[in-house]
Structure 1
Amino acid sequence: MNATDLQKIKQRYNIVGNCDKLNRALDVAMQVAPTDLSVLIIGESGVGKEIIPRIIHDNSPRKREKYFAINCGSIPEGTIDSELFGHEKGSFTGAVGESEGYFGVANKGTIFLDEVGELPLATQARLLRVLETGEYIRVGGQKIMKTDVRIVAATNVNMRKAVSEGRFREDLYYRLNTIPIQMPPLRDRAEDILLLFRLFAMQMAEKYNLPKITLADDAKQIMLKYKWPGNVRQLKNITEQMSVLSKEREISAQVLLGFIPQDQESTQLTTLGKQTSGQHSYESERDLLYKILYELRGNVSNLRRELNELKEKFNLNGEAKSIDGTPRSLEQADTHAIVPAIIPTRQQQTVDDEDRMPVVQDAVAEEISEPEKKAEQESLNLENQYRHMLEKALEKNGGNRRKAAQELGISERTLFRRIKQYGLDV
């Protein structure tokens, strides 16, 4: 194809650039357009692969027929066979009628399968049969259907690697790859980067009635040295961002660096699936959760045991034994005699310190003989002990409530409530 015809193609499809690799791709597309050979377009994401099938269709004998561009990666695996090859009525839930599918509707036309490497293996087998014989069977049907379509496919994955890993059929790969077209990444089109920038800047200025942005010399050098992992699509996005957000119309290197990601990995998605060495696993978090649950289970068991011991001190009719052994009702039970039985040990104390007070010793309620009752009642009066401890802590810390609360192991709010309760003058 001579330079004049090449320039007409670029003008018609708004293609900017003079890169030899780009010109070669356009030349191959024009040569293969009059034939029915399958074409596989290979290139990174964002290089403009979608232009090539449009050029092929518009310059082929099928140009007056239908053209469908299908993104194979965006169709769910469970419905992609129905979308491509159609289905019979009642073949699955929701199939209220018949569907011809893309291959039925696009008969005599062209189908562009973008991201063809994402097709499930079962769908790949159906597609291979269409390429070889032009025949297919609808989902849920038995009748063999015929179609005459031109297939142009595109992918941004390493197809040879996908074949070796068993993710793509080798026979289908060679059927699609009859005519390969390689689209160059933007980093290999250094002479086209500034041309594309000027095109996108002009489009934004005309579309939104904005002053056109330009690049300073130092910014141009950065544009040429940047790797552009997102290719032409990334360049267009950054140009549009600067056109709208930058207050300066002449973009300096400093301003440009504010819009270009400095870490290439920031433009990539996280890889899911098999984890390699160095990647984060959540084993430590799981172990920690298991440990917490195990300890919580133990605390619940301890509380249940304490509750059962407490219940044993009461009759089923709600009567409690007094210190002298005389049964009394629960309302008449001496709280000072039973409180020590429900105070947990230091290891069993919960995290909530609202009602937590330092435990001087582990006390268990038990019957006390008559001669010792008066003395023991005096020592078991926890209220007096708590008040005495509060007074000592406040006196030791010069009335500083925060320090006193820390020493007692309670919160300041709890300390303030106790001071108010006991009427202490601080």
Structure 2
Amino acid sequence: MIATLLVGMLCVYLLSFTVMFLLISRRLQDENMGMDVFGVGNLMLGGAYVLQLLEGAPGWSWLSMLNHTLTLCSLLAYCVGGARFFGRSTPLAVPLLCLAVGYSLVQILVNWAFGPVARYVMLAGVCAVSFVAMVAMLLYGVRSFAKDLRGEVLLFAGLISGICVLNVIKLSKLLSGGFEAVSNDGRFSMVFYVYMCSLATILPPSIVWLVLRRLTDSLRTVAARDPLTHLLNRRGLSTALDACFRRPGTTARLLLVDLDHFKNINDSYGHHVGDEVLCGVADALRASVRKDDLVCRLGGEEFAVICVGADDASVMRLAERVRSSIEQKVMLQGALYAQLRCTVTIGVSDSFGSEAALGQAMQQADAALYRGKHTGRNRVEHNQGPNRRNAVLDTVH
């Protein structure tokens, strides 16, 4: 009686969260992160438990066969939902149909050849193997595609490991004692359904939490990135710098990168060509800087590079590499503009050691940039303020 009540509660949980998943999926539309597939998985698993309530005692029946097929198909749906959550475009309909037809036929053959107990043994074994594969994939994800969700993914792996162990125990009991060993009145069935109810209570809200976290992370990324070039914007640069300077002793230098005669490009060829040029410059900057450097589009045709831990010599080499890369690689070819090449002028600041000092570094780099513009463009200029002149004089003396 209690086991039947637990299965009924499990059905209510699963079908309720089915509605929630589908409503969230509809709200998110194309970027639903697999919520629609999680809803399908919950619907199939909930339907399987409804059929279990209807079929009564275990044995052979068409309801039982459909129950087992839906149970296994729900696992496939959860796997596909997880893949879509992590950005993998994974098909559902065709694999689901193939699995449903194939497993139904296999059930008929196994029941005919070995009896109904073998069919339940097969389901427990296939589920156990499936859960092992899920746990292995989650543990692999902690070190690769799910690094940002380490805690949540480890929680999922632990919970799925529990249901895997229960399926192995169920398989063992079926082999040794048949249906009597896993009857609804037994202690094992009580533990099994209590655990399943716990999973149905914990996992769906956890999935909703992961979706909310991904949405907030996405909004934070949008707020910190320039929509055209996908480089950091001023806000994103400030946040990244603040995190960078939390490491004791960290210093950086600023490169201000400004396109030469960009207004002429926009006026002569149109803003769509100007946007292509800006994107080309952004790509060249990404390819030229070092791993820990920060690249930002300040606005218009002006970019910034924060060179972390660079000395005077290395920052000048980096600036020259940036200038040369843009001159050589950023070009547009077409009937209207033959071969349009782009150049930049770069101003370099002195070393600074905090996010608050960025303003002074901006002034230094801007003064150097202004001087470069008035001495021919397509060049790199270092700050030559009083502090730098005094340092040079001290070195000479």
Is the shorter-chain TM-score for this pair beyond 0.5, marking a shared fold? no
Q: Taking structure 2 as the reference length, what is the TM-score of the superposition?
A: 0.17
> If each structure's helix is expressed as a fraction of its own residues, which one has the higher value?
2
